[in-house]
Amino acid sequence: MTHSLQKDFARYVSQNILGMIGLSCYILADTFFISQGVGADGLTALNLAIPIYSFMSGVSLMIGFGGATRYTILRSQGEREKADIIFTRSVQFAVWMAAVFVLMGFTLPEKLGYLLGGRGEVLSMTAVYLRVDLLFAPAFIINNVLLAFNRNDGAPGLAMAAMLSASISNIILDWIFIFPLQMGMFGAVLATGTAAVIGLLVQSVRFIRRKHTFRLRAVLPRLRAVGDICALGVSSLISDLSSGIVMIAFNAIILSLAGNTGVAAYGVVANIALVVTAIFSGIISGAQPLLSSAYGRGQEKDLRKLYRMSLGTALVISMVIYILTYLFASPVAAVFNRDSDPVLQQIAIDGLRLYFTAFPMVAVGMVTAAYFSAVERPVPAFLISVCRGFAVILPVTFLMAALLGMTGVWLAYPVSEMITAALSVVLYIYAARKERRKCP
């Protein structure tokens, strides 16, 4: 059983890590091509727009993760019809939210861009990015929801193929739209939206061949079911939503300390960090179907093994990434510094070396929150996610920026993640002891 569990874990996690890296390269590809084709103002505009993208992504991941978790638990208990109803209501919820974002795309881009800090030409480019991004909301949201259900339905390979296809398409289209066609910011976001559509088309192959086991049922929307989906998936929403909130706060602080050049440098650091976070998300996404299935069957030993394997994998990867980032910070920053601006270069190097010390602690918080969500314990998952999100990092950032300037901004992230990791460990130990006391 242990060998089979380890084999399943390796298969699910490796495929999901590759897929999530591909998915995260949406923004990283935009960062690179905009930095080269549009310049520092374009990079600043992208960084101002990303919080809205993060919110939209967080909503889709909440629906997908929460719905797929409940679906897997019900399937493992033999409740096939109830599982299908959960899938149906997840799709209904996704469609409602997509409609809200599309409406925002038609009416709010300029106002949002201004509120996020855009002015002049930067505001114009921010509004363009936001408008097109929001109008593609149906593709982004439905794509992410189906990724979660296909993954939980025994098709992690298809999920990986869809994410990689979308990422590769985005890179190719970014180059075509920004350079040969000279479409600037509009081209970058059009490439991103089109790539989401391509990912959705790749997933549709499984539906055409009727290889999926989940089905749409004729059921009316039900608010309680939506609440259940949200409860199990809220940690995913808070994770992405909080990253947007933190970026808004960081942008405002850095604007006051180092101007647009500082914001552009932060954009480089934050967008590379998104790729690292995506690796952890890949571990979580891969482990979640196995955790929920083991939980549904009451297999406590397998739950503990899966948690240890997930956490160990994330910690090893985080340490390797930090070493590589420290050694190669200068050439990495230079890739995104088209004009060889020495100020931007130095701020980005310092940021990479200080900011990335957080990732071992990030691994602890993300894995533990996802574990609690996968086993129907939304309260500790919510607490960890809120602390990871904004409850700790915002006051720490304002305090450390006032004391240490830009160095304090970079160090705020690892300090806040250290506090949250300690809370995560305490909550997990408490839950494990409580569970053992229940056992005869």
Handedness of CA 390, 131, 31, 202 (dihedral sign): positive
pLDDT of residue 23: 65
Upper half-sphere CA count for residue 135 (Cβ side, 13 Å): 15
Of the listed ranges 1-10, 145-154, 183-192, 265-274, the one predicted with least confidence: 1-10
Q: Is it the case that residue 50 has pLDDT exceeding 90?
A: no
Mind listing the pLDDT tens digit for each residue in 311-325?
999 999 999 999 999
Mean model confidence pLDDT for the chain: 84
Alpha-carbon gap, residue 166 to 142, rounded angstroms: 14
Alpha-carbon gap, residue 314 to 360, rounded angstroms: 8
How far is CA 13 from each of CA 76, 90, 350, 416, 440, rounded to the nearest angstrom? 20, 24, 32, 27, 33
Q: Is it the case that residue 271 has pLDDT exceeding 80?
A: no
pLDDT band at 45 (very low <50, low <70, confident <90, very high): confident
- Mean pLDDT along residues 122-145: 91
- Mean pLDDT along residues 14-31: 72
Closest Cα partner for 241 from 62, 51, 50, 384? 51
- Mean pLDDT along residues 83-92: 87
pLDDT band at 52 (very low <50, low <70, confident <90, very high): confident
Mind listing the pLDDT tens digit for each residue in 143-175?
888 888 888 777 777 888 888 888 889 889 989
Closest Cα partner for 50 from 230, 266, 199? 266
Q: Is it the case that residue 1 has pLDDT exceeding 50?
A: no
Closest Cα partner for 367 from 357, 355, 354, 380? 380
DSSP secondary structure of 385-425: HHIIIIITHHHHHHHHHHHHTHHHHHHHHHHHHHHHHHHHH
Alpha-carbon gap, residue 400 to 249, rounded angstroms: 13
Of the listed ranges 7-11, 24-28, 375-379, 405-409, the one predicted with least confidence: 24-28
Classify the phi-psi angles of 154: left when phi > 0, otherwise alpha if psi is within -120 to 50, otherwise beta.
left
Alpha-carbon gap, residue 418 to 425, rounded angstroms: 11
Contact of 321 with 276, CB cutoff 8 Å? yes
Contact of 68 with 272, CB cutoff 8 Å? no
Of the listed ranges 14-23, 31-40, 92-101, 113-122, the one predicted with least confidence: 14-23
End-to-end Cα spacing for the chain:
23
pLDDT of residue 194: 93
Backbone angles phi, psi at 339, to 5 degrees: -90, 10
Q: Is it the case that residue 190 has pLDDT exceeding 70?
A: yes
pLDDT of residue 438: 59
Backbone angles phi, psi at 179, to 5 degrees: -100, -70
Mind listing the pLDDT tens digit for each residue in 198-216?
988 998 887 777 766 777 7
Contact of 364 with 311, CB cutoff 8 Å? yes
pLDDT band at 26 (very low <50, low <70, confident <90, very high): low
Alpha-carbon gap, residue 396 to 383, rounded angstroms: 17
- Mean pLDDT along residues 286-305: 82
pLDDT band at 2 (very low <50, low <70, confident <90, very high): low
Burial label for 379, CB within 10 Å (0-12, 13-18, 19+), is: exposed
Of the listed ranges 143-157, 226-240, 367-381, the one predicted with least confidence: 226-240
Q: What is the pTM of this model?
A: 0.72
How many other CB atoms sit within 10 Å of the CB of residue 256? 10
- For the chain, which residues make up each domain, given as ranges? 2-438
pLDDT of residue 233: 73
Mind listing the pLDDT tens digit for each residue in 382-404?
888 888 777 888 899 899 999 99
Q: Is it the case that residue 411 has pLDDT exceeding 90?
A: yes
